[in-house]
Amino acid sequence: MVSIYYAILLVISILIAIFVAQHTYENIDIHHWTITVIIPLVILGYWLKTRVTTTNGAMIAFSYIYLDSTLMLAVILCALLYFMRIRVKPWIRLVIYGTSFAHMFVFWLCINNRLYYKSVKLIDTGVGIATKMESGPLKIIHWIYIAAILFAIITVILVAWIRRGTYSRRTLVIYTVLLSAGLLLYIIESFMDVDFSMLPTMYVIADAIIALNYDRDHTHDISSLVSRQQEQHSGRAYVAIDLSGRFLSCNKKAYDFLPELEMQIVDAKLPERGEAAEVLYGLKQDFLANKTLLRQFQMGDMVCQCEISEFSLRVDGEVQGYIFDIRDITEEQHVIKVMRDYNDALNEEVNRQMKAMVNMQERMVLGLADMMDSRDKEQSGRARRTNALVHILVGEIQRQDYFKASLQFFNDMLRATPMYDLGRICIDQAIISKGSDRTTEEQALYESHAVKSGEFVHRILDEAENPQYVKVAYHIARNHHERWDGRGYPDGLVGEMIPLEARIVALADAFDEWVAEKKKGRPMEETLLEVENMVEEQMGSRFDPNLQEVFMASRKKIEEYYISQEMD
């Protein structure tokens, strides 16, 4: 019966190892895995001890059982040091493991002599084979080793309870209870000289609890969450919290950025009014709401940057919490500021030069237009007045948002308007002055000025201006004599085939031309009223009917402008 019981425990211990293995953790805790492998071997020894029929077989079974009081105790001691984030030097680990292997090796050498055990007796109890052994002279080595390593383990546990550290108090309770129960059970069985030990049961229970607590335990180990290279990076701090916002762990560098973490209780939430809660919880909320990954904060004179990422101990496993990567970016910010200031100064100079160049270009175009207008007294100032009308109309369009167009489009249009009639300089002034008395051939020659105006635009602006601006200027120059009903020139465009910028300039150009024709010594108010009526009558035939509302809203400003000009 006892043999079957131990066999069941052996199977359970193997299943626990498989359970841990199938989780495919990214970082393996070698201490836990070593214990997971040792426990089935120890239980195998207990099972074999109930099945053997010779004393040599019993001693071989004991060679497996002795793994618990030698190697497993050494691994438990190192595991506790690792749990407390105490990094022991390699030679110390070598001493611990070397002593345990030496102890085990001495026992193996004494299997066939009486130095470790004077006598071995096998007793059939009816439920299994019990082994009674009388200690030999070298058994004292076993007791000295046990006393020394248990003293070290108990000391480490007491230190763990006294000191503050970024390790789970719940896990510490589990380790303390399990080790205390195992030690108490070992002492009781040693004094009572029981036939069949309950330690295998204790080992399986402890192994199962530790396996189930593996995730929780290792979320408190920052080195399990970040790479060793990252953890040891001199300028970086790492802080981990779980999904509920409870503090798990951090490295020592984190205390430089968030000093309050040094007093933070593990597995507890951060104080709501603290800097740490404001930075970490604030970034967590932004990350969940908007997928925001970065937040900057000030710590004295230091500018810090905090970056959030999710973590899981398992490959492709569920998210178990959040890692915050904090670093000092003061120097970076200083460099960025210097570069930004330099860039701003450079942009300001470029904008100044561009503005100067644009102003010079506009003055040259207006000067050329004035020179062209000066050829005919009746045409004097037309380019400037038409340009002013376009500014009034565009201002009203933008104020009322009549047409969906960008601010850049309207800016380009206002800059381009003075060039709208440059092609007239190629036409004989005598033909221009004839007006409606031109012959068919003369009228065709006159109308060609629209095409020539477009050509002038390309010659002046190509390779020196933004292509979009050139396009707007070309449309105005070539198409400002097109009519909504398609009877205009040079291309006979109809309706919205005519670019918007050309439709607006066409209205302004015609208005000024009519005012110049109708004035002839009449009061300006009377002339404007007649011309305004003419414009309204031709909405939908010559002009875009969509501009009627814009024109009506602009009448007052137009009238004020013309009255201020005192045209003769």
Could you check whether the bond before residue 490 is cis, i.e. omega within 30 degrees of 0? Answer: yes
332-334-339 Cα angle (round to 5): 95
CA 415 to chain centre: 43
pLDDT at 2: 84
- Residue 266: how many CB atoms within 10 A of its CB? 19
pLDDT at 553: 92
**Which neighbouring-strand residues pair with 134?**
119
Question: What's the average model confidence in pLDDT over 371-377?
Answer: 55
Within 8 A by CB and 6+ apart from 355, the residues are none
212-248: per-residue pLDDT in tens? Answer: 877 776 666 666 666 544 555 557 889 998 888 889 8
pTM: 0.51
CA 114 to chain centre: 70
pLDDT > 70 in the chain, percent: 89
- Domain ranges in the chain are 2-218, 222-328, 368-565
**pLDDT score of 368 more than 80:** no
Q: Are 320 and 313 in contact (CB under 8 A)?
A: yes
pLDDT at 301: 82
136-139-140 Cα angle (round to 5): 120
Distance between CA atoms of residues 508 and 488, nearest Å: 16
Distance between CA atoms of residues 81 and 88, nearest Å: 8
Structural element, H or E, at residue 304: strand 302-311
76-81-82 Cα angle (round to 5): 95
Between 105 and 85, the more confident residue is 105
Measured between alpha carbons, how far apart are the two ends of the chain, in Å? 128
pLDDT at 421: 81
Q: What is the dihedral of CA 558, 563, 565, 568, to 10 degrees?
A: 120
Residue found under tokens 């049961």: 201
Q: Are 57 and 48 in contact (CB under 8 A)?
A: yes
Residue found under tokens 């100032």: 381
Choose among 123, 358, 347, 326: nearest CA to 238: 326
Calculate helix-pair angle for 407-416, 467-479, nearest 10 degrees: 50
- What are the structure tokens assigned to 92, written together? 């110390």
**What's the chain's average pLDDT?**
83
**pLDDT score of 437 more than 90:** no
CATH 3.40.50.300, domain 222-328, yes or no? no
Distance between CA atoms of residues 508 and 525, nearest Å: 18
Lowest average pLDDT, out of 8-12, 227-231, 314-318, 564-568, goes to 227-231
Q: Are 432 and 543 in contact (CB under 8 A)?
A: no
5-47: per-residue pLDDT in tens? Answer: 889 999 999 998 888 777 666 666 788 888 888 999 999 988 8
The domain made up of 368-565 has a fold known as: Hypothetical protein af1432 (1.10.3210)
pLDDT > 90 in the chain, percent: 19
Torsions phi, psi of 117, nearest 5?
-130, 125
Structural element, H or E, at residue 326: strand 321-328
263-279: per-residue pLDDT in tens? Answer: 888 888 888 888 888 89
Distance between CA atoms of residues 517 and 491, nearest Å: 26
pLDDT at 420: 82
DSSP code per residue over 205-238 = HHHHHHHHTHHHHHTT-HHHHS-HHHHT-TTEEE
Strands 247-250 and 321-328: unpaired
- Tell me the C-alpha to C-alpha distance, in Å, between residue 331 and each of 223, 327, 334, 429: 27, 11, 5, 70
pLDDT at 354: 63
Between 316 and 407, the more confident residue is 407
Question: What's the average model confidence in pLDDT over 88-107?
Answer: 88
